[in-house]
Amino acid sequence: MKKKLTVIVCVVLVALFAFAACGAPAAESSTSSAPAEESKAPAESSDSGTAESGEPASSDGPVKVVFIPKNQGNPYFESIVLGFQRTAEKLGADKVEFSTTGPADAGATSQIEYVEAAVQNGADVIFIAANSNDALNGTFDDARAAGTKIVIINQDIPGSEDHRDAAIMPVDFTTTGTVLLDTLGDMIDFKGDFAILSATTDAPDQNTWIDDMKNLLETNDKYKDMKLVEVVYGDDQPEKSTTEMEALLAKYPDLKGVIAPTTVGIAAAAKVIQTKGVGDKVKLTGLGLPSEMKEFILDGTVEKFALWNPPMEGDIGVYMSVALKDGSLTIEPGASFEAGDYGTFTFTDNGQIISLKEPLIYDKSNIEEYAAQF
């Protein structure tokens, strides 16, 4: 009888432990083909990090990397995922465990629950294209206190840099506004009315570029004959971007051009221009993915547009994460790390990594080459 009672107690305890282990649900995510085990909330142990220490929970095993885009289903961020995945696979599952998860919309606070879930599931480094400059500050602070590194990717969060550890910039952002304005200006002889079709009203990166363009229009005589008539927002949704572009054409019959500093926006705008057959009258440029813009470049709807190399950002992120995990890198001004064939990257005084100096220009001369890549 005593032996039977012991067996029953053991079975109950095993069941209880199994139930507890399943009790912390993870956000839905897509994992790289260098497979990671199912994420679980980190268990407490004598060497785990704590909210007070701000140290990583463990130095054992692969570095756990999570990427949270502005919104899921956005081809631009899928191209960044490509970089994370290919480098994670290259370095191996013993070095990197990568997953991506995120909201359906690009609302200012929609990413909060995904950051919290990633921390609960033991992420070492979270890369996030933040939907707001400041709406996630408290969430970032909590994550960092728990030992998770917060790295803003594809942008920064101006005014809130103290709430993140670092930022991977796709390009030197001080050049982007100028390149976009010059690209359109070159096509309209720096004369006439133009509009901007942006992403969301809170998007930190787009707002930075728009402010830079407005400043150039006000202070540089080169643009004195160009007039910005309106900034509209497509919320990085194809349908809304299409509606906003159609409204611009109807509202401003003398419109000479449109700048769309968002890959979703420029693709939607190009389709509208193509359908209406107004490519000769209304010039379009902005930031686009070569694979999405190839059709419009080759048929003459769009003459040229700009971008950088999105997969490169994911590549750099993986190398940075591995260096942080193995202790060879500490994030501080002047610290550097190796990123494979890309070479050495060094943190700026404000904790940024600059991928490229300025955007690349895509046109008929190179569109097919790059469209095959991303």
Alpha-carbon torsion (174, 352, 201, 79), positive or negative: positive
Domains of the chain (ranges, CATH numbers): 63-164+310-356 (3.40.50.2300), 174-308+363-371 (3.40.50.2300)
Which pair of structure tokens corresponds to residue 342?
């890309």
Position 58 scores a pLDDT of 53
Question: Model-level pTM?
Answer: 0.80
pLDDT digits (tens, 9 = 90+) for 128-168: 999 999 999 999 999 999 999 999 999 999 999 999 999 99
Measured between alpha carbons, how far is 171 from 175 in angstroms, rounded to an integer? 8
Measured between alpha carbons, how far is 261 from 176 in angstroms, rounded to an integer? 9
pLDDT digits (tens, 9 = 90+) for 79-120: 999 999 999 999 999 999 999 999 999 999 999 999 999 999
**Helix boundaries (H) for the chain:** 2-21, 75-91, 112-120, 137-145, 173-187, 204-219, 238-251, 263-276, 290-298, 310-326, 367-371
Mean pLDDT of the chain, nearest integer: 88
Is the CB of residue 288 less than 8 Å from the CB of residue 361?
Answer: no
Helix axes 290-298, 263-276, angle to 10 degrees: 20
